[in-house]
């Protein structure tokens, strides 16, 4: 969250979540700052945040070749992961602006800024969105030289860019352009560039041969009649989308849009069409989405409490703050079940479903997922009605009593990488009969919100 939005969300958290009831069982909670794992998970390595951005929190991850890109409220870092047991930082770029979601394509790195700034430079400072000249949106970097990334372009978008999703072009256009779906929300009457109604997304068209010419090409309205605004227990009424995951080769996308879950037809990249929409009385804030490899299921996450509350406890229960698994039947979303980690966390630990990705196991649906201070969960939803956790990594409460945890956890070429707010980059490995075949799958790029099928990507298992 950012600027005045963060204070609004925190106020909503206090109003929606008055946590009470029985605390988590002390015997089930690791000692402060202590790492615990299931027997099939190994904590391979922790790499502290590089000094230039050590004071600000880590956020999202993207991968290309032998490199990991780690977003951070203060900028981003590039790591050499050619040897996952000896990961090393290559460079850090100080360029503040929450949240710094990252996606990489060729020599271009795209970063999301949802923090109103006094200008678009990397030396900018925070400035109220009520000032017309304030800037927020997307920054584009040339990362051809990993030791010295170069800032080449900014694109301002209405209400900033809370998250961004990279969408390849179709057919011959794939060689010419890439598109960025920008999710943003929380307009206000006194924000000149973010006034209500804001029930839309922004789409940036980036010419690959001339990325400096990138510009907003369309702003399709997702909710022409308004979104879910009155459901009891909502963190915030729908005023746009929080995050979108595209499955470009299948021309579909799933939108996590605050109070609504949405499916899109994206066959026309600049004009996505809503094909299905749903709500859930147990969901407070539709946060993100992940398709199964065959695109017959989609997992939506709920960021109950806005990421700042202790919702992984007995008082909250198993159905709120959980993932929701849907089957896609004749183009519509059919609810199957919830999944939530059963490992209770201390009431000092902010814990909620957050960013994750599939582990590429042929014939099964297995996901790795961050849960903030609930750590990292590996879980199987092959049977959408009966999901189960098969492995985990967790740290105990922070000794200083502050919040934090793992923001995002993704599987890439044999290992799991987790971006922890404070601890830096964690490298994990799962060794389990259910996931061992994934070691045969190799890819040269991973932007989690840009899903690609395993087929045709070199897997060697039968």
Distance of alpha carbon 277 from alpha carbon 112, whole angstroms: 26
The answer as to whether 83 is a domain residue is yes
What pTM, to 2 d.p., does this model score? 0.93
The answer as to whether 63 is a domain residue is yes
Per-residue confidence (pLDDT) for residue 55, from 0 to 100: 98
Per-residue confidence (pLDDT) for residue 26, from 0 to 100: 52
Residues of the chain falling short of pLDDT 70: 1-27, 455-462
Distance of alpha carbon 90 from alpha carbon 68, whole angstroms: 10
Asked whether 257 and 240 are in contact (CB, 8 A), the reply is yes
If DSSP codes are grouped into helix, strand and coil, which group holds residue 174? helix
Distance of alpha carbon 248 from alpha carbon 166, whole angstroms: 10
The answer as to whether 215 is a domain residue is yes
Question: Which tens digit of pLDDT belongs to each residue from 308-328?
Answer: 999 999 999 999 999 999 999
Instruction: Kindly give the pairing relationship between strand 41-47 and strand 424-430.
Output: antiparallel
If DSSP codes are grouped into helix, strand and coil, which group holds residue 10? helix
The domain total for the chain is 1
The answer as to whether 420 is a domain residue is yes
Q: What is the CATH number of the domain that holds 371?
A: 2.130.10.10
Asked whether 412 and 376 are in contact (CB, 8 A), the reply is no
Nearest to 310 by CA among 321, 323, 300: 321
The answer as to whether 461 is a domain residue is no
The answer as to whether 452 is a domain residue is no
Per-residue confidence (pLDDT) for residue 20, from 0 to 100: 33
Query: Which residues, 6+ apart, have CB-to-CB distance to 364 below 8 Å?
Result: 380, 382, 434
The answer as to whether 385 is a domain residue is yes
Strand stretches in 279-413, DSSP E: 286-291, 297-302, 323-329, 332-339, 356-359, 366-370, 376-380, 388-395, 406-412
Buried residues in 340-363 as b, exposed as e (16+ CB within 10 A): bbebbbbbbbbbbbbbbbbbbbee
- Domain limits at 106? 3-446
Per-residue confidence (pLDDT) for residue 28, from 0 to 100: 80
Question: Which tens digit of pLDDT belongs to each residue from 252-300?
Answer: 999 999 999 999 999 999 999 999 999 999 999 999 999 999 999 999 9
The answer as to whether 457 is a domain residue is no
């Amino acid at each position: 969250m950012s600027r005045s939005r963060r204070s609004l969300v925190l106020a909503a958290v206090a109003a929606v979540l008055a946590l009470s009831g029985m605390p988590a069982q002390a015997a089930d909670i690791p000692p402060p700052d202590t790492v615990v794992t299931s027997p099939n998970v190994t904590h391979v390595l922790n790499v502290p945040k590089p000094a230039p951005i050590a004071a600000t929190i880590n956020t999202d991850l993207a991968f290309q070749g032998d490199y990991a890109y780690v977003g951070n409220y203060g900028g981003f870092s590039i790591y050499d992961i050619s040897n996952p047991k000896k990961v090393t930082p290559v460079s850090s770029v100080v360029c503040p602006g929450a949240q710094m979601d990252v996606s990489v394509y060729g020599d271009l790195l795209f970063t999301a800024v949802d923090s109103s700034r006094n200008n678009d430079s990397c030396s900018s400072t925070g400035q109220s969105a009520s000032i017309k000249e304030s800037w927020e949106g997307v920054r584009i970097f040339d990362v051809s030289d990993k030791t010295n990334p170069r800032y080449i372009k900014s694109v301002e978008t209405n209400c900033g860019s809370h998250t961004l999703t990279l969408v390849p072009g179709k057919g011959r256009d794939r060689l010419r352009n890439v598109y960025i779906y920008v999710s943003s929300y929380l307009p206000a009457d006194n924000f000149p560039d973010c006034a209500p109604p804001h029930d839309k997304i922004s789409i940036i068209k980036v010419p690959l041969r001339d990325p400096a010419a990138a510009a907003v090409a369309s702003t399709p309205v997702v909710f022409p009649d308004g979104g879910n605004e009155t459901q009891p227990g909502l963190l915030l009424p729908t005023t746009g989308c929080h995050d979108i995951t595209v499955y470009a080769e299948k021309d579909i996308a799933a939108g996590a849009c605050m109070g609504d879950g949405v499916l899109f037809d994206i066959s026309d990249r600049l004009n996505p069409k809503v094909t299905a929409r749903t709500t859930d009385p147990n969901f407070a804030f539709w946060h993100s989405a992940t398709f199964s490899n065959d695109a017959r299921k989609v997992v939506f996450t709920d960021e109950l409490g806005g990421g700042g509350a202790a919702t992984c406890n007995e008082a909250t229960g198993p159905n709120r703050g959980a993932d929701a698994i849907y089957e896609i039947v004749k183009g519509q979303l059919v609810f199957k079940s919830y999944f939530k980690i059963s490992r209770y966390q201390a009431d000092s630990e902010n814990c909620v479903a957050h960013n994750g990705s599939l582990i590429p196991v042929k014939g099964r649906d297995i996901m790795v997922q961050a849960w903030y201070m609930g750590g990292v969960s590996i879980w199987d939803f092959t049977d959408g009605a009966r999901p189960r956790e098969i492995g985990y990594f967790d740290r105990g409460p922070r000794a200083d009593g502050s919040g934090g945890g793992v923001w995002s956890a993704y599987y890439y070429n044999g290992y799991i990488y987790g971006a922890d707010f404070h601890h830096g980059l964690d490298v994990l490995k799962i060794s389990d009969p259910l996931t061992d075949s994934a070691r045969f799958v190799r890819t040269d790029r991973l932007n989690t919100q840009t899903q690609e099928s395993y087929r045709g990507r070199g897997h060697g298992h039968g």
